[in-house]
Structure formats: C-alpha cells, structure tokens
Structure 1
Amino acid sequence: MKKHQHKFSRKKSASNLPVKIYYLAQILSFLSITLLTVLLIRFNLHEKKILAKMHMDQSTMKLLSAFLTDTTDMFLTRAPEIEGIVIYEADGTTLFSYGEIIRDPRIYNYDELNIINTDSKRSLLLSNSVINMQRDFPPERTRFLDNKYIGNDIIFHIEEKNQRFFHDIRKLIYIQIIIHLITLLIFMQAHRFYQKSSSMREQLKSQENLVILGSALRTLTHEMKNPLAAIRLQSGFINRLYPEDLKEETYVINCEVERLSHLMGTVRDYLKNPVGNQESIDPSSFLHKIRKLYPSVIKWIIPEEKYSITIDPDKFRSILENLLNNAMESGSEPDKITVEINKVKKWIYISVRDEGSGIPEDIKERIFDPFFTTKSRGSGVGLMISKRFLEAVGGNLEIESTEGKMTEVLFWVPTNNKGKNQ
C-alpha cells in the first residue's frame, strides 16, 4: 500500500500531446508578454534617466557659469528646487557649498562620476560632474578665468528635488505590475476556459457514446429478441429428442443465449438507470465475499477498518467482477494479481493490478469506447459501463498500463465515513 499511496491521493489525469502543446503555448505567450513589458518599461526608465541627466547637466553648466562669474546667489534664486550644492577640488577642498548635502560624494565615495544617482525616499536627483576648464572648454572661453581654475578638476555635486521624475518612475512601475497582473489573469482565464472546453468535449463524447448505445440497443432488442427465443426453444426440442447425445452441445448453446440476453439487459439498464438501487454498504466486506469466488493465490490487501459507501450492490459487484475477470484473462499468473482498497480523505480507492500482457499503446484511447474489445468472447461494454456506473455516484475509473508488463485499474467512490483520514 505504501508504494502506491501517491496514486490514491489524487485523481490521475492522462497526458496527451494537444494538452502539452496548449500549456506550452500559454507559458510561452505569458513569458513573451512579460519580457516585452519588462523591455518597454526599462526602455522608458532609461529614457527618463537620460532626460534627467540632460536636465542636471544643464543645471551644472548654469551653476558653473554662476560660480565663475560670482552670480551663484542669483542662480539659486532662479532654482528653488536645488536642495544642496557642493563644489570642491579633486583633493577634496571645498570651493563652495549651499544647503544640506544628503549624499556628499566625498563621504559616499561614488565609483563613477559624471553620472546621475537618485534618492527615492527624499525624491532627490544627485548629479556628480567633473569639469576641467583646460580640457572641456576651448581657450577663447577660458582666457579671462582665474588661473587657479584652469587645468584642475572641479567636481560639481548638485542635489535637486524632482518629484515629477519619481512620480513618473513610480507610475511606470505600477503600469508594469498592472500589465503583469492582467496577463496573469488572462492566462488563468484561458486555462479555465480550456478546462471547461475539455470537460464539455468529454461530456459530448459521453453523450455520443450514449447515442451509439441507444441506437445499438434498439437494434439489438428488435433484431435479437425473437431469434434468441427461437434458438432457446429449438435447443429445448433438441435436448428432449437427444438427451444424451447432444447434451454438451445444447448446454453451450443455452449458455451463449443467456450471455447475450444478459448483455442486452446490462446495456438497457446502463441507459435507463445508471445509479440503480443505492444503499449503504461496506466495500471491505464486499471484497471478502468476492475473494471466495477467485483463486486463493490472488493477493488481497484489505484493511480491518470498516468503510461505508452508497452504491447499488449489484452494480458494485459487477464492477469488481468485471475488473477481476479482465485481470484473470490478461495472461497474468493469479499470484501476480493484487486487489487493494484504501481510504484517503473522503474517497474510497480500489485498485486491481495484474502483470499480464498490458494494453497496447495504439488502443489505449479506445478502451472505453462502446463495443470495442480485443477478446474473442468479449462484449466491449464492461469497462465503459463500469465507468458510467461510478460517474453516476460521483466516482470514476482510470487505467494505467505498460504493454507486456502490467495493468492497474483504479476506481474511487465517495465515502460516507466522517472519521479521521488515513
């Protein structure tokens, strides 16, 4: 039980290529939209920073002009957004300072100069520019300057309050988050729609099977009722005329007539009332009764705990016998057949496993089709009817098989027990 416990903890879903392609396409679409959004947002952020850098460069050049012409006070009057300024030489000597410097580059030791930094908490743009009069300006513009400024690096550090810049940055970030959420919602909605469509397709297929069965039933009832009665009658005459000579032959004829009659009744019952006459039963006790009808070497794993399910006892017995008969006819040795029952949460799981010939890959998709069988004496309705019975009471049935190695049929029904889960 332990090594198969994971199989009982969830309803297994068969994977197929269209489903994998669908989910792969959805994931690629989601990743593509996310990547495109990130690139667009980063492009806009980069553009904003470039514009901010240009703006701060202009402020630096205005400050430079004011500093060199001793009109710094006039510059500050025209630039009230300036929170702090420090101008210093390469050796750290302060040439000019104004206001409160929050992030002095001499203290924070910026790795790069001539770049723009930000302080989002205070909505500050921080500009650090290195200017060399001899290097950065033509001689005709510096010939009137004081020699102490020519040939030396001068660092201009400006801290400017710019709420609009940070407002735009936050807006871009919010837009990015919203786009991600919208994309995720679209992905989830598409996933939900696909699941709903898959469910509808399964229902349509089930209805199609019912239509096929209904048509087949009408044909069988009409075409076989009278011939079967005639065969049964003629078999009785033959048995009376030749009671000893043809006893074995008439017995075979009667058995086949009964089998066909039972098949017609089963299909009719399947269509009219799949739920049947429900009552509360203990599936463990049911298994103990059925095991007496099969070889004793079959392995039965039945816990001592009592369970309770609501189902038609005859239909439940029919399901178990059908699965066990299939296992016996699979080519598996009886001692390699295992019947196991377990309770997980609100479900009773029962599995029938054999080590027979398995199911070929090319017919796995057809095993629940009506009247499809690979047996010479099979009817092709046993598995489909069993699945229909289980679905009618809120359960289901699934098959896992490896050709040439094993087959395991797992079915589950809701339990009436409200005690602790295993």
Structure 2
Amino acid sequence: MVSILTNWRSWLALLALSIVIGTIFYSRYLATKIAQEERDKVELWVNASKAIFDNPDMPLTLPNMIRNEQTNIPIIETNEKDSIVNYINLDSTEAALDPTYLPDKLREFKRNNEPFILVLSQQPYIANKYYYGNTRLLREVKYYPLIQLVIVGLLITLLLLLLTTQHRSSQNQLWAGMAKETAHQLGTPLSSLQGWVEMLKESGGQEAITRELEKDVNRLKLVSDRFSKIGSIPNLEPTDIVGQVDAMLDYIKRRASGKIRFEFMAPPTGSLIIPLSATLFDWVIENLLKNALDAMEGQGQITVQIQENEREVLIDVTDTGKGIPATHIGRVFDPGFTTKKRGWGLGLSLSKRIIEQFHRGELNVKQSEPGKGTTFRIVLPKQTGLSK
C-alpha cells in the first residue's frame, strides 16, 4: 500500500508539473500575442492622432473613428520634457483627487512598454510621447498561470489528503482485524488451560506448579483482553494513574536485572484520578519500560515521573541507555520500524495508537541523546469526551 501511495504521489506531482509548465508556455504565447495586438492598436491610435494634427482643417472621419473606438488601453500623452499633457482610459476622478495618481501611472507605463514618439516640429523641436499600460485582459492572462498553479496545488493537496486518510483508514482496519483475530485465536487454548488449572486445584498437590501455571494463564488472559480492546473503542473509567504506573513498575522490577535501578517520582497527593482504559494503559507503560530495559542492556537506571497541571497529566519514562540517533527519532513510532534483532516493531506504534486515538493524548520522544539515554513523554487529558 505504501509503494502504491508513493507511486500515486509521483504521478500526481508529474501531472501537476506538466499542467503548470504547459499553462505557463501557452499563457506566455497568449500574453505575447495580446501585447502585440495592443501595441498595434496604440500605434494606429497615434497615427490617427498625427493625421488629425497634420490636417486640422480637413474632416477626417476614419482617424476620428479610430481615436474614439480606443476605449480600453490606458494612454498618457507627454511633451518632449515628459510633462503630462493628456490621458485617456484612466480614472479621471482619481486623477483629480490624487496628484500622485498620474505620475505613478506614468512610471508604471514606462516600466511596461516603450513609448511612441510623435514629432510635431523639428525647428523648434516639439514632440509628444505616448506611454501606454496593459489592459485588464493582458494582466489576467499573465497572472492566470499563478492562479492555476494555486488551484492545481490545492486539488493535488486535497487528493493526497484523501489518499492518506484512506491509507490510514485501511491501516486502522488492519490493526483492528489483527487484534480481534489474535484475541479470538487465544480464546480457545485459554479456555482449555483454565479448565486444566481448575482440575489441578481440585485434585490437590503440586500447589506451587498450580500457582505458577495460574499466573501464566492470567497473563495470557490479560494479553487477550488487550488485543480485544484494540479492535474496538474501549470505555475509559476513572482510574488512579499513580497506582497503575506503580503496579506496572513492580511487575517489571521482578523481571529486570539486579543492576537496573528504578526511581518513581509521584505527585505529592499520592493519587491522581483520570479517565483511563487501565488494561491498555498498562500495555503502554509495559512497552516503554521494556524498551528502556532493552536500551540499557542489563545495567542503568529507569526513572518514571508523574506531573500534573490544570488540564493534563504528564508521565515521563527516562532511561540511561544507548539513546536514539537523530535520524531514527522521526521513525520510532512507524509500524514495523525496529533496531532490535527480534520483534516486529509494533510496540511503540501500538502504544501511540492507544494514547492518541483511544485516550486523546500524546506520546512522543521528549529528548534523546546517543550514549546518554532517552525520555518518552505521555500527555493525558484530565477530562476526555471518550470517558463513560
């Protein structure tokens, strides 16, 4: 699915680039053609003005018609000293109210187009210059590629968002399906094991073996319960998060090396009640603590600190292990990513899903430095719309 999505992105990017390049070239062609037609019209208008000037006493119908029909190209007429003499197709009201309006337009016209010069007399030298600006049509054609680029960019972005959403939805369905199937597959042998445990209890003897076997069965039941909750939205119930973390720390301590030191820093209140799915939250803490143990390779210190503010609870899990390289920090929560020789790389991905999707919180790498250790931070809201 990832490769398909990547190919889609590549094809979409290529399509967008082709559309934009084609539009730019065609728009330039149209702009050049329109600009030449407008220059020809201005030249015709200037020639008509010259004909009228050269023959003031003759009735020149065609030149007058040409001058009168020019109603869209703005023109400013100046003398040989570039002082403004006259203008057409500009806002006369604005020109009357704002003394800078015409000079500003003149500077703009000088930047855009070369003027036409009409010599009225050689001795003394008298000449008019005709500067002209671009019509609205020409401006629109010039800016059209930019507008189309924005539209195409928005469409491509929207399509990519839809594809990404579809990919995530498919991924979520896959997670849920795998979780439900795992819980289902564990159900049958669990029921059988529970029956054998009850038979051992009734028969008496081998109490130590029975207790240990019962612990393993309960552990399998917990795993099955966790996977069954991944497949559906769990109920969040008021839970003492300090007690939950403390209990999970005790569980991990019993299975850790004697060279691992544990430190638990709880709030002064001693308890903190927030909406939780205790089963799934324990899974997250267990994953983070096991990752910390793996990172320290048998010796070091794990510190768990719980803090609170008005709206949130912050849980920091810090180890003194080998740390995470900067190139890997952005990928540690990706499904399948792992630097271990064993494992599928699903623990942190599942943990992030549990915290962010089920508890409306956050799970991220607060800080990490190779050779010094890593801190993962969980942020949980004190109130959530998912609690029941």
Q: What interval of TM-score do these two structures reach, taking the shorter chain for normalisation?
A: 0.5 to 0.7
SS of match in other structure, 1:298: strand
1:144 maps to: none
2:222 maps to: 266
2:262 maps to: 298
1:327 is the counterpart of 2:319 = no
Q: Distance in 2 between matches of 1:285 and 1:46?
A: 76
1:283 to 226, 232, 241: 241
Q: Distance in 1 between matches of 2:341 and 2:383?
A: 35
Cα 1:131–1:411, aligned 2, differ >3 Å: closer, same or farther? same
Which residues in structure 2 correspond to 1:310-389 (within 5 Å)?
Answer: 310-313=275-278, 316-317=281-282, 319-321=284-286, 323-328=288-293, 330-331=295-296, 336-342=301-307, 347-356=312-321, 365-366=335-336, 374=342
1:77 maps to: 64
Q: 1:242-263, CA deviations, whole angstroms, 9 ceiling, x for partnerless residues?
A: xxxxxxxx95x55652343123
1:194 to 163, 166, 179: 163
1:117 maps to: 109
**Aligned partners of 2:318 and 2:376 also within 8 Å:** yes
Q: Distance in 2 between matches of 1:269 and 1:85?
A: 83
**Aligned partners of 1:346 and 1:414 also within 8 Å:** yes
Q: Distance in 1 between matches of 2:82 and 2:201?
A: 124
Q: Distance in 2 between matches of 1:17 and 1:399?
A: 27
Cα 1:214–1:55, aligned 2, differ >3 Å: closer, same or farther? same
Residue 366 of structure 1: how far off its partner (Å):
3.3
Residue 99 of structure 1: how far off its partner (Å):
5.7
Q: Distance in 2 between matches of 1:99 and 1:333?
A: 91
SS of match in other structure, 1:77: helix
**Aligned partners of 2:109 and 2:131 also within 8 Å:** no
Larger radius of gyration: 1
Cα 1:51–1:20, aligned 2, differ >3 Å: closer, same or farther? same
2:135 maps to: 166
Q: Distance in 2 between matches of 1:85 and 1:290?
A: 84
1:44 to 30, 38, 50: 30
SS of match in other structure, 1:266: helix
Residue 174 of structure 1: how far off its partner (Å):
7.2
Cα 1:23–1:338, aligned 2, differ >3 Å: closer, same or farther? farther
**Aligned partners of 1:85 and 1:156 also within 8 Å:** no
Q: Distance in 1 between matches of 2:249 and 2:187?
A: 36
Q: Distance in 2 between matches of 1:402 and 1:254?
A: 46
Residue 206 of structure 1: how far off its partner (Å):
0.8
Please, what is the CA RMSD of the aligned residues?
Answer: 5.8
**Aligned partners of 2:300 and 2:320 also within 8 Å:** no
Cα 1:117–1:71, aligned 2, differ >3 Å: closer, same or farther? farther
Q: Distance in 2 between matches of 1:411 and 1:44?
A: 58
Residue 308 of structure 1: how far off its partner (Å):
4.1
1:157 maps to: 129
Cα 1:223–1:357, aligned 2, differ >3 Å: closer, same or farther? farther
Residue 203 of structure 1: how far off its partner (Å):
1.2
SS of match in other structure, 1:341: strand
Residue 264 of structure 1: how far off its partner (Å):
2.5
Structure 2 unpaired stretches of 5+: 96-101
Structure 1 unpaired stretches of 5+: 1-15, 133-147, 240-249, 418-422
**Aligned partners of 1:128 and 1:155 also within 8 Å:** no
Q: Distance in 2 between matches of 1:359 and 1:119?
A: 57
Cα 1:179–1:157, aligned 2, differ >3 Å: closer, same or farther? same
What is the percentage of aligned positions where both structures have the same residue? 17
How many pairs does the alignment contain?
Answer: 351
SS of match in other structure, 2:60: helix
Q: 1:218-247, CA deviations, whole angstroms, 9 ceiling, x for partnerless residues?
A: 4533665566678x579965x5xxxxxxxx
Q: 1:101-136, CA deviations, whole angstroms, 9 ceiling, x for partnerless residues?
A: 899xxx97x999xxx93899xxxx99423669xxxx
1:57 maps to: 43
Tell me the TM-score normalized by structure 2.
0.61
Residue 200 of structure 1: how far off its partner (Å):
0.8
